[in-house]
Amino acid sequence: MKKTITALFLGLVLIGAGAPAGAGHAGVKLGVLKCTQIPGSGTNLLIHSTVQVKCVFTSITGERQAIYKGETGIGLGIDLNWNKSETLVFTVLGATGNVGGSHPLAGKYIGGRASASVGVGAGAQALIGAGKNHLTLQPLALESARGFGVAAGLGYLYLEPSR
């Protein structure tokens, strides 16, 4: 089973690495967005799942941080995960190096998502979308997880400022 999970993970990474750099996601690297699941906040209905997340954006210079709250999950697909906790890490790209506003990543992002775990697991998301300042998240986000199960389908991430 570990070999299957490793093969799935490496395949997803290779697919993301093989995407052309100019495929609508080119831009200046502005920083990193790290999201962690809020324990006990998940709902899993097999074909739809949702979990609350807390995210921190750190600029590439380390000088700027913005804290978000939000929701992620599978809008339509299959989610057979139990006792799962996850962490997602995205690279944040922009058309220029200028990031305006106090929470520039607030918005909705959608795309494909797949993960597998037996004890410890991994997954990937290919999300597209833009915040109010037309920033995008790296098309491939890596996910680390603990728990048991598999999931695949139309994934989403919704972010709003945390007060």
Sign of the torsion formed by the C-alpha atoms of 119, 5, 84 and 141? positive
Domain assignment of residue 81, yes or no: yes
140 within domain boundaries? yes
Residue 111 lies in a domain: yes
Establish if 138 belongs to a structural domain: yes
Structure token pair of residue 29: 């690297």
CA dihedral 82, 85, 86, 87 (to 10 degrees): 180
Tell me the residue range of the domain where 44 lies: 2-10+26-161
Position 159 pLDDT exceeds 90: yes
**Quick check: is 122 in a domain?**
yes
For the chain, the domain total comes to 1
Cβ neighbours for 126, distance < 8 A, ≥ 6 positions apart: 16, 111, 112, 113, 139, 140, 141
Is 20 contained in some domain? no
Q: What angle do CA 72, 76, 162 make, to 5 degrees?
A: 15
Note the pLDDT of residue 9.
Answer: 41
pTM: 0.74
* Within a domain: 54: yes
User: What is the pLDDT, as a whole number, of residue 130?
Assistant: 61
In the chain, where do the E strands start and end? 28-37, 43-44, 49-59, 65-94, 107-129, 136-137, 141-161
**What confidence tens digit (pLDDT) does each residue in 51-109 have?**
999 999 998 888 778 999 999 999 999 988 776 678 888 888 777 666 666 788 888 88
pLDDT-derived band of residue 150, with 50, 70 and 90 as boundaries? confident
Residue 17: inside a domain: no
